[in-house]
Amino acid sequence: MSAPRLRLLVLPLVVVLSALVPASEAVFPTASFRVQSSDPVRAPQGMVVSEHWRASEVGRDVLAAGGNAVDAAIATGLALAVTHPSAGNIGGGGFMVIRFPNGSSTAIDFREKAPMAANPEMWLDERGEYDRQLHHYSHKAVGVPGTVAGFDKAHRLYGDMNWERLVYPSMALAQDGFEVHDGLAGGLERLVERMERYPATVQAFSKNGRAYQEGDTIRQLDLATTLQRIMLNRRDGFYVGETARLIVEEMRRGGGLITAEDLEMYQARERAPIHGRYRGYDVIGMPPPSSGGVAVVSMLNMLEPFDLSAMGHNTAPYIHLVAETMRRAFRDRAQYLADRDVVDVPVHRLTTKAHARALMSDFQTDAAGVSAPSDVAADHESPETTHYSVVDSDGMAVSVTYTLEAGYGSGITVGGGGFLLNNEMGDFNAGPGLTDENGLIGTAPNLARPQQRMLSSMSPTIVARDGNLVAVVGSPGGRTIINTVLQVVLNVIDFDMDIQSAVNAARIHHQWLPDRIRIEEDGTSEYTVELLESLGHTVSLGGRQGLAHSIMIDPRTGERLGAADPRNPNAGARGH
């Protein structure tokens, strides 16, 4: 497109953003992208939506047998540890947000912790230079796992069903095996090739060194034995006794830091959720060490004064505005957010309407903002996580996001234990003062310290209105998690989409640094991209963003509407 034409096109863009009048289809065609045409799964009582249909069935069966949403969430999470080893785990950690039928809510923090031997400079070599391999792909990159402690705590506080009943299906699934789908076969083949130096990984995830093929049955007998110990001894079946001994042995073998004391000391925490209000809706999210709850509420606060539906979904005015709120929220994330048990985080201020107005005071309708590396910077966070949503017949809702960090975590399998260990220590900042244009960050709040939980983007979220449950939302995707959740919420509230359409719709992402907008392939028109570039944005197209397995309540019938994200064909929504 010629430069004169671009200059002429900026004027209507400014008018639309300033006056917030409906965008003409002739000038700003609304993106009609959908991953696929489909309808949500309907059920009258309960619903589970997860990354693997077998895990969803395990959770659904718990609901059908009289368990509540917390029970089903625990059973689903343990089943994902068997069926979805790239992110489902007992060797990692995560977050659970719960909303009770009476409208009250709580959150369970089972994020991994740094071992007692951790220190802020542990990723520097003898010359004081940053060692990325050590930070992300070594035994020292393993944080103290939190998943089993988190599930145990959630069950003791809010579960109804017998603990053994929740663990047994996963133990049986690991022992009896399940059919390998194409995606899992490819992932396991790459894992074993990458981790040939770890015999326990090769043993657990290959057939005597040969790759699993689609249609094969994978059995995980060591994992089944570990799950049996958890079934019989709950938390102590992991953090003390034989499983703990095997973890410590693996740490000693590879030069890791986790000790028996680190494991025994680990505790999950119950926390007060983040609460926000957006156009009359209540938004309930995870507090720090998750950055998700704060960031989502902050962006919604920034967007509330604007008429998004008038702009049109994924038009240039809409993408420009939303990307600028993302830019500001991620700058705050890097500057302020960390584990509140260790660092003073100004959560209240960051989630106020007044702070949102201040952030948007320099917003320009006709020009992209600027991300300055000299302010603070953004560090790496892997997109390999998993999310699942549960609603029971009483209206209790549970949103869970948990992870091993990278795909298959560290790639290190505990010998004799059959489960992969996380590499979550990579979510700590690289080292004091190490902030550069390439994305390293050296700000103090999220440096590695003994017993500190590393910052995360995981954003399990629940939406309600007038005391009634509306939706349960979340996603994997590293930094993109926050923005995926934001857009599903906007799709439901501002664009009146049903939950499946809200999940299917194309997504965008901006994380402050690098300073660019990413849009899913076919997510908008070339014309819209040209308009965004005329404002000074750098735009890249392609790939997929997130796997937002979500649930919505039909306001007319009360049915549970389950939306498995079709970006993964093996995901499943199961209701009863």
pLDDT for position 429: 86
Which residues, including other chains, have CB under 8 Å from residue 327's CB and lie 6 or more apart?
369, 371, 510, 512, 515
65-69, 114-118, 435-439: which range is least confident on average?
435-439
Q: Are 414 and 245 in contact (CB under 8 A)?
A: no
Going by DSSP bridges, is the β-strand pair 560-563/41-43 parallel, antiparallel, or unpaired? antiparallel
* Mean pLDDT of all residues belonging to the chain: 91
pLDDT for position 412: 97
pLDDT for position 433: 62
Give the whole-angstrom CA distance, residue 109 versus residue 106: 10
pLDDT for position 33: 40
Asked about 315 being catalytic, the answer comes back as: no
pLDDT for position 270: 98
CA distances 380 to 18, 96, 136, 405, 441, Å, are 35, 23, 10, 10, 9
> Cα 272 from chain centroid?
19
Which residues, including other chains, have CB under 8 Å from residue 90's CB and lie 6 or more apart?
78, 81, 145, 147, 148, 226, 227, 230, 238, 419
pLDDT at 380 over 80: no
pLDDT for position 31: 41
pLDDT for position 332: 94
Q: Is the peptide bond before 514 cis (omega within 30 degrees of 0)?
A: yes
Catalytic option among 76, 385, 401, 484: 385
* pLDDT tens-place string over residues 210-235: 999 999 999 999 999 999 999 999 99
pLDDT at 3 over 60: no
CA-nearest of 135, 137, 113, 111 to 123 is 135
pLDDT at 23 over 50: no
* pLDDT tens-place string over residues 32-64: 344 454 899 999 999 999 999 999 999 999 999
Give the whole-angstrom CA distance, residue 306 versus residue 163: 48
pLDDT at 460 over 60: yes
Going by DSSP bridges, is the β-strand pair 397-403/385-391 parallel, antiparallel, or unpaired? antiparallel
* pLDDT tens-place string over residues 496-543: 999 999 999 999 999 998 899 999 988 999 999 999 999 999 999 999
pLDDT for position 14: 38
pLDDT at 8 over 50: no
Confidence of residue 372 (pLDDT cuts 50, 70, 90): confident
* Mean pLDDT for the stretch of residues 443-448: 84
Alpha helical stretches, state H, 284-337? 292-303, 308-311, 316-336
